[in-house]
């Protein structure tokens, strides 16, 4: 699923809840991170790392620990950039050579409406207005959850480039559907704060893709080199 949202240079490995992952054994350093975590967190932490190690293998990078660094961002081996996501029934890792992309972010969520009160906390009034219009045109998609996921993907792509927090209200996201397909499309995130420099260009936003499949909404942002 996530593969459809990213350029061909990105290696993705995903695991659905009903599949048995190949190897979820953690390195001792990783084990220490989740030593006191609840079972669900331990399982997702291990399964997504198994996905990431399989992606690393496909890129010719030897298996090694993937530890959370600053503010929880995964620390990738030199020469790689990547992103991971886990939710009920789904885990995915996306990795690419740093020469091919400057950054990327992936996120998956259950395709359900957001809990009461969350949307006004994460959406700008203009975004809420656009979501109302989308819901009128395409009622089969939980646009509120899609917007939330897009914001998470934006943050995961933003953070490795800046090392800074980005508030939900600091990116204005415009979501659109693919022509003739109501279950996939793209989005543009306009940054309302100064953007990161990539090469000789300061970004004013990010581009992303989304899909709704198998009871999930998935989003991805990829940041090309300038
Ligand atoms: C960090 C955050 C984006 C994770 O998203 P989530 O939907 O809660 O959880 P997911 O399962 O999809 O992703 C978790 C993975 O994100 C990655 N992650 C965590 N912090 C990260 C960061 N600062 N930068 C990049 N990736 C990060 C990790 O790989 C983590 O998995 P791990 O803990 O097993 O290593 C979210 O918890 C958060 O803090 N959001 C607030 C910031 C934000 O979204 N701003 C919106 C800007 S428009």
pLDDT digits (tens, 9 = 90+) for 78-137: 999 999 999 999 999 999 999 999 999 999 999 999 999 999 999 999 999 999 999 999
| Residue 74 shares a structural domain with residue 148 | no
* Span from the CA of 155 to the centroid of ligand 1 (angstroms): 7
In degrees and rounded to multiples of 5, residue 17 shows phi and psi of -55, -30
The domain total for the chain is 2
Q: Are 61 and 154 in contact (CB under 8 A)?
A: no
| Residue 20 banded pLDDT, cuts 50, 70, 90 | low
| Residue 111 shares a structural domain with residue 214 | yes
* Span from the CA of 43 to the centroid of ligand 1 (angstroms): 17
Domain that holds residue 152: 107-223
| Residue 96 shares a structural domain with residue 152 | no
Q: How far apart are CA 51 and CA 11, in angstroms?
A: 10
74, pLDDT greater than 70 = yes
Domain end call among 100, 131, 153: 100
Q: Which atom of ligand 1 lies nearest, measured to the CA of 159?
A: 24
Domain end call among 82, 100, 118: 100
Mutation choice for ligand 1 from 51, 106, 152, 206, CB with most ligand atoms inside 8 A: 152
């Amino acid at each position: 699923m996530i593969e459809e949202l990213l350029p061909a240079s990105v290696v993705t490995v995903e695991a659905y809840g009903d599949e048995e992952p190949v190897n979820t054994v953690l390195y001792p350093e990783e084990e220490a991170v989740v030593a006191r975590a609840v079972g669900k967190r331990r399982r997702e932490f291990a399964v997504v790392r198994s996905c990431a190690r399989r992606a690393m293998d496909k890129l010719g990078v030897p298996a090694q620990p993937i530890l959370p660094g600053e503010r929880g961002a995964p620390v990738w081996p030199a020469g790689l950039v990547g992103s991971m996501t886990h939710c009920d029934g789904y885990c995915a890792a996306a990795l690419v050579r740093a020469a091919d992309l400057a950054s990327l972010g992936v996120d998956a969520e259950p395709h359900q409406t957001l809990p009461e009160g969350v949307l006004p906390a994460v959406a700008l009034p203009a975004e809420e207005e656009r979501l109302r219009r989308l819901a009128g045109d395409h009622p089969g998609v939980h646009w509120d959850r899609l917007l939330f996921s897009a914001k998470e993907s934006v943050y995961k792509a933003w953070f490795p480039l800046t090392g800074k927090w980005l508030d939900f209200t600091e990116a204005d996201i415009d979501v659109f559907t693919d022509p003739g397909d109501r279950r996939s499309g793209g989005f543009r995130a306009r940054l309302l704060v100064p953007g990161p420099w990539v090469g000789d260009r300061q970004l004013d936003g990010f581009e992303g893709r989304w899909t709704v499949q198998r009871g999930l909404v998935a989003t991805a942002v990829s940041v090309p080199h300038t």
